[in-house]
Structure 1
Amino acid sequence: MNIRHAEVKDAAQIAEVQVKSWQASYKELVNSNYLAEMSINERTLRWKEWLLQGPSHTVLVLEYDPKEICGFISGGRIRSDHPYDSEIYAFYLLKEVQRKGFGTKLIKKFSHHLVNQGKKSMVVWVLRDNPAKKAYISLGGKKIDEELITIGNQKLSEECYAWRDMSLILD
């Protein structure tokens, strides 16, 4: 297992992980038509743009086998009005590497990177019915907010978990 900073050339593999992860992990939560219509090509274009944003947007990838990306985490400055200074924007692992401790290693490495940049606190938004939110809770994340979002033509509840002191994730 290897965790490293993403490069623009990783965009297609990151997009593939995101789409496959959504299709496997959200099949009971998100409308099946929406999941089926997700496009790796469209996501690849968006990831190329995001990866060109530079240091304001951090993306780390997880390689299980050399050169084979099986997960990623991305984030940067907070996008909401909450009194925290950073946010996880996206965090996905392929189904076959979930529940093996890789996600915990990835979020710890990501948090360490943000702490080294002078960040102290962090939030993440997660679908309320997503069982993966247990990982955030086990790492000390506290629920601070909830809102309704629209995915496709579906309204879903999303919860915000936060860490006032990101260094606690590193322990």
Structure 2
Amino acid sequence: MMIIREATLSDAEGIAKVYVDSWRTTYKGIVSDVFLEQLSYKKRTESWIENIQRLDNYVVVAENDDGQIVGFADGGKRESNLIEHSGDLTAIYILEEYQGKGIGKKLVGKLSEHFKKLGYKKIFVEVLEDNKSRLFYEKLGAQYCETTKITIQGDELNLAIYKWENINSLLTPR
């Protein structure tokens, strides 16, 4: 049984572990190995403490039966997002061994419930074009909008932007 709930400060370390471990499996061969090796649980824990405390940010976690955080999603409204009544799914990561079990859909659903309360009607997500998880967004009904560029560790990569026109399609069924 997976528990999906809002993150608390005490979750920062678990979120950081999922973040670092997921980056190392998801982006291997996409982002430089040097960059991936330099990711630090300690630094990521500090940044997730900040992210959880931000009032304009919402973080949800997936917890397994042992109380271990195995995935999370994060969202709010990017400064660059000037579209009225819209928000952004800014991160979603699930440990590799827990992927493909419906956890991502539940995390997105929980985040979308929060977004709906904020009056958001559309949701955007940015994903590296070479990241196979973009298929997850497509499966959830996201529509491709455009591609832009991002630089990570000196490498210029394509960043695909997707959107859900209608937030209601993402809400967790009761």
Output the TM-score relative to the length of structure 2.
0.92
Aligned AA (1:10): D
Paired position in structure 1 for 2:60: 60
Quote the offset at 1:78 in angstroms.
3.4
1:72 corresponds to: 72
Q: Distance in 1 between matches of 2:63 and 2:17?
A: 13
- d(CA) in 2 for partners of 1:22 and 1:105? 21
Instruction: For residue 82 of structure 1, report the CA deviation from its aligned partner.
Output: 5.1
Which runs of structure 2 are paired with 1:19-168 in the superposition (5 Å)?
A: 19-54=20-55, 56-81=56-81, 83=83, 85-168=86-169
In 1, Cα distance between the equivalents of 2:81 and 2:71?
28
* Deviation (angstroms), 1:80: 2.1
Distance 1:116 1:52 in 2: 19
CA shift digits 1:96-117 (9 cap, x unpaired): 1011111111111211221123
Q: Structure 1: which amino acid aligns with 2:58?
A: T
Q: Is the 8 A contact 2:87 2:120 kept in 1?
A: yes
CA RMSD for the aligned pairs?
1.4
Once residues 95 and 81 of structure 2 are traced to their aligned partners in structure 1, the CA distance between those partners, rounded to angstroms, is 31
Partner AA of 1:138 in structure 2: K
Task: Kindly state the Cα deviation for residue 81 of structure 1 after the two structures are TM-superposed.
Answer: 3.9
Runs of 4+ in 1 over 4 A off after TM superposition: none
CA distance in 2, matches of 1:79, 1:145: 18
SS in 2 for 1:109: helix
Q: Spell out, residue by residue over 1:108-152, the C-alpha distance to the aligned partner (whole angstroms, 9 max, x if none).
A: 121122112321111000000111111111111111121110111
- Consecutive unaligned residues of structure 1, counting only runs of 5 or more, are none
Distance in structure 1 (CA, Å) of the matches to 2:72 and 2:16 = 10
Q: Distance in 2 between matches of 1:82 and 1:137?
A: 23
Deviates more, 1:102-111 or 1:73-82: 73-82
- Structure 2: any 5+ residue segments left out of the alignment? none
Is the partner of 2:91 in helix, strand or coil?
Answer: strand
How many Å separate the matches in 2 of 1:116 and 1:127?
29
Structure 1: distance between partners of 2:108 and 2:28: 24
In the TM superposition, what whole-angstrom CA distance separates every residue of 1:23-63 from its partner, at most 9, and x where no partner exists? 01111211111101111101111111111113x10000000
- Kept after mapping to 2: 8 A contact 1:21/1:92: yes
Query: Is contact 2:18–2:93 with CA below 8 Å preserved after alignment?
Result: yes
Q: Which amino acid aligns with 1:87?
A: D
Change (3 A) 1:118 1:66: farther
CA distance in 2, matches of 1:21, 1:3: 18
Amino acid at match of 1:71: G
